[in-house]
A and B are shown apart, each in its own frame.
Chain A
Amino acid sequence: MKAVKYLAIILVTFVIIAGIAIPMVSEPQSILEFPIIPGLEDKARNIFFHVPVAWTSVLGFLVALYYGFKYLRTKNLDYDIQSVSAAGLGMMFCLLATVTGSIWAKFNWGSFWNWDPRETSIFILLLIYGAYFSLRSALGSDEVRARLSAVYAILAGLTAPFFIFIMPRIVGGLHPGAKGDTSGSTPVAQLHMPPNMRFVFFASLIGFSLLFIWLLNVRIRAARVEHQLSIKDH
């Protein structure tokens, strides 16, 4: 876990410095220059932060779902601790993705919120996280809470294909990969990036994922200690 921690710190630091400091010029000559993308200009730098953060919020949900599933199989409360830790982190990243995306939308598309399919999906993800934690706070005993919140997470996960694959097809959107995009509508947007931008972008994706793994590990250990202490008290 130490290696993950240091790698995450190095990669995210590199992305922050490279993503912000590398100048954007119209005719890039060296590897230390990004091309200017018409219509985006310096705003394109947000892609190094917004997309990885959005990806991590989905990762958080998937991890919470996976451990919820494992809890239902084994009835081992430790899996519930891992599940809820992942969900908490995912919710934080989801908020960050909403805020960074909303600011980007204001300057690129003219308003903070446009109900584009992907914006709708991240909003639903935020609602799901909110509902998940309200459900947990309304349930009394540890076992019932773990069981029912796992069931709810799985039910919410069942609707994901409708948002990822179906909604972007029937509702026109603004994100790349939406219906009406000239480069074709696919669930995963095609990347049109020069190699050096692509390198920073993937470094950011990996860096944020590792950051998530490390934060998750810290949270799980803290939650386990808290759980042990609460058992001792009773």
Chain B
Amino acid sequence: MNSIASTWAIVVKDVRSELRTRYALNALLMFVVVSVATILFALRDDEVNPEILSGMFWVVVFFTAMSGLSRIFVSEEERGTTLTLQLVASPSVVYFGKLIFNSGLTLILSSAVTVLYVVVFPAFVIKSPLIFGFTVFLGSLGFASAATIIAAVIAKANTKGTLYPVLSFPILIPLLMTVMKSTARALDGELFTAALGEFQILVSYLLVMIAGSYLLFDYVWKE
């Protein structure tokens, strides 16, 4: 099997085992609903400006991602299937398979947050859909790229749940600052060219993270 086919096989395997229980997807979507509801209770009838909402948008995405994206490696560790996976596939194939799965999951959850925000907050009006679309797409991929390698690290630790956001946050800050800024631009209705600088940062972050993870994954994965 060539590497593209085997990467795809890993993705299919993960999707299949996810669909069997729907554990991650259900938990993530419920997490999104719960955290948006909490923000709603906190804000009540207050007038909120779009700047705050664009920040809150990524706060929800961050904590939701941190609650679920580590499953991808932790579940292998819990089911005791890590060794089998090490035998049947090369590390880079495993890494890219898991990365694609996590990217898909992050895209689903950030779209869910978008839909909820548009419905629930009257002030959340996306005036430049193009900027918003690019931001959510690149931001989700960036999130997944950093979260996947940290998940692989965390799967070997004793306190998996609490450590995950602690380790991911410093790595994700450049991404978070950038996506918050360009989401605010999208809500302000700025021109597409105004956000080009942010997109350059997002793309370079994505490339740096994937290249770094690809080189380091061997050391994390192999005993």
Give residues in A with beta carbon < 8 Å to B.
Answer: 72, 120, 124, 127-128, 130-131, 134-135, 138-140, 144, 147-148, 150-152, 154-156, 158-159, 161-163, 166-167, 170-171
Contact = CB atoms under 8 A, between A and B. Distances in A.
Given A151-B220, A166-B201, A167-B177, A158 B212 contact: yes
A161 B174 CA distance: 10
Q: In the complex, which range does the number of interface residues on chain B fall in?
A: 20 to 34
- The 9 closest A-B CB pairs, nearest first, are A162-B174, A138-B157, A127-B170, A128-B170, A158-B212, A131-B167, A138-B159, A151-B216, A138-B158
Interface string B182-202: 000000000000000110010
A167 B219 contact: no
B174 A167 contact: yes
Interface string B151-172: 0010011110001001101110
A150 B216 CA distance: 10
Contacts of A163: 174
A158 to B, nearest CB: 5
Describe A's contact surface by its main secondary structure.
helix
B220 A131 contact: no
A131 B170 contact: yes
A124 B212 contact: no
Describe B's contact surface by its main secondary structure.
helix
B182 to A, nearest CB: 11
Contact of A140 (B158, B177, B201): B158
B159 A159 contact: no
The interface centre, meaning the residue of A155, A156, A161, A171 with most chain B CB atoms within 10 A of its CB, is: A155
A113 to B, nearest CB: 16
B21 to A, nearest CB: 27
B125 to A, nearest CB: 25
Contacts of B146: 155
A200 to B, nearest CB: 34
A124 B173 contact: yes
B81 to A, nearest CB: 19
Contact of A134 (B149, B163, B219): B163
B181 A170 contact: yes
Contacts of B173: 120, 124, 159
B163 A138 contact: yes
B209 A148 contact: no
Nearest to B222: A147
A166 B216 contact: no
B170 A159 contact: yes
Interface in B126-156: 146, 149-150, 153, 156
Nearest to B177: A167
B205 interface: yes
B19 interface: no
A158 B142 CA distance: 14
B120 interface: no
A44 B161 CA distance: 45
